Amino acid sequence: MSRQMGVRSCRDFCRRFGVGLGAGADLLKLLESEAKHGSAQQRIAMTKIREGAKDGHAISEMMRHQKPFFPPLLVVMTRVGETTGRLERTMLTLSEHYAQQYTLRQNFLRAIAWPGLQLLLGIGVLSLMIWLMGVLTAPTGGQMTDMLGFGLRGPKGVLIFWAYLGVVAAVIGGIYFAFRKNIGAIQNVVPLVYQIPKIGGAIQTITLARFAWTLSLSLDAGINPIDSTKLSLDATDSSYYRSGAKPAEEAIRGGATLSEALNKTHLFPEEFITQIEIAELSGTDAESIDHLARDYDERAKRAMETIAGVASAVIWIVVSMFLIFMIFRIFGNIMGFYRQGFEPI
């Protein structure tokens, strides 16, 4: 299994499984039904889980054998649900968690869909103009004037233009991939990213929302603070935050509270640490951190709107600059033709 189960698939699986268990359905029947849903990888994984469960193995144990297809949070929470006898409740809670993650992502994609379409239309118009300049002939004979000034004409010019765009897309994709995989420890620049106006704070808020939600789920399920912290740091999907697992564990084993341990990682803003500390003082960590998670959930929604707004603005600016450039370039060529017409012979 090379790819991890997607957020949407996790949401749907947990919802179906939780509802099925609540209705009193047979476990093997549920797993047999799950083997008919999702991608080919998911169907194969569910089939293996059913075979293992039929032989008396725990579902979480079989999930762990399918690593890394099942997210660590899903595996651990399933094990906790099996141990405590609250698998139904655990699955439904996980369903809400993954639904929240999926909604955030969809809201962002919807927000940038229209500006993105306009960018594609702009590229299409530019490609058409390059093609026409190589196909059409000028009234005086010969090739059309290069109104865009790119030195590109005809079908060959379009291919070269697309090649340039491909290089730009490859560079952007390479940077994204390197950041996701932390190649060359590139995620060490995360603190600098957080300093970017508007965008930095929004990205940090979304990351903290993931951490808070997972921490709330883990503590509520009865997982110890060390494992809860590790799971929550892993849920951020950031090597930068995962690096805090060891110092946090050492601090907790040394007698530090959760807020003190998180503070020693030097990863979290002071406001977040303060709210964790207040939750500890209340004496009901899981419940108080659940309120914190819901608060950051709302903040994350606003943060996603901010990121989407900035992304839309950037695309609008690119499209606008392109249109202004084209207008001035074409107008300049027309004026050049006009002046040539009045020059003395």
pLDDT of residue 338: 61
Rg (CA), the chain: 27
Is residue 67 classed as helix, strand or coil in its secondary structure?
coil
pLDDT of residue 323: 76
Mean pLDDT of 250-270: 91
Please calculate the CA angle 265-270-271 and round it to the nearest 5 degrees.
Answer: 130
- Tens of pLDDT, residue by residue over 5-63, are 888 999 999 999 999 999 999 989 999 998 888 888 999 999 999 999 999 999 999 99
Contacts of 246 (CB under 8 A, 6+ apart): none
Backbone conformation region of residue 6, classed left if phi is above 0, alpha if psi is from -120 to 50, else beta:
beta
Examine the pLDDT at 1 and tell me if it is beyond 50: no
One DSSP character per residue, 29-57 reads: HHHHHHTTSS-HHHHHHHHHHHHHHHTT-
pLDDT of residue 306: 84
pLDDT of residue 249: 93
Cα torsion 108, 113, 114, 116 to 10°: value is 110
pLDDT of residue 246: 92
- Tens of pLDDT, residue by residue over 121-158, are 878 888 887 887 777 655 555 555 666 666 777 788 88
Pick from 293, 335, 319: which is nearest to 122 by CA?
Answer: 319
Least confident residue range of 186-190, 244-248, 269-273, 291-295: 186-190
Mean pLDDT of 312-320: 80
- Written as six digits, the tokens of 75 are 């595996």
pLDDT of residue 137: 59
pTM: 0.70
Examine the pLDDT at 199 and tell me if it is beyond 50: yes
- Tens of pLDDT, residue by residue over 290-301, are 788 888 888 888
pLDDT of residue 143: 59
One DSSP character per residue, 143-188 reads: BPP-TTSS---HHHHHHHHHHHHHHHHHHHHHHHHHHHHTGGGGGG
pLDDT of residue 139: 55
Count other Cβ atoms within 10 Å, centred on residue 110.
Answer: 10
Is residue 137 classed as helix, strand or coil in its secondary structure?
strand
- What's at 199, amino acid-wise? I
77-81: long-range contacts at Cβ-Cβ below 8 A with a sequence spacing of 24 or more? Answer: 77/217, 77/218, 77/221, 80/221, 80/222, 80/223, 81/221
How far CA 7 is from CA of 50, 59, 71, 87, 261, in Å, comes to 22, 19, 9, 19, 29
Cα torsion 81, 84, 88, 93: sign? negative
Pick from 235, 202, 241: which is nearest to 218 by CA?
Answer: 235
- Tens of pLDDT, residue by residue over 70-86, are 988 888 888 888 887 88
Examine the pLDDT at 315 and tell me if it is beyond 60: yes
How far does CA 194 lie from the centroid of its chain? 16
CA end-to-end distance (rounded Å), the chain = 77
pLDDT of residue 63: 92
Examine the pLDDT at 228 and tell me if it is beyond 80: yes
pLDDT of residue 342: 55
Cis status, amide bond into 68, omega within 30 of 0? yes
Contacts of 5 (CB under 8 A, 6+ apart): 13, 41, 42, 45, 69, 70, 71, 74
pLDDT of residue 331: 73
Q: What is the DSSP letter of 189?
A: G
Alpha helices in the chain (DSSP H): 7-22, 27-34, 40-54, 59-65, 72-84, 87-135, 154-181, 190-193, 199-220, 225-235, 239-242, 245-253, 258-264, 270-281, 285-341
pLDDT of residue 286: 66
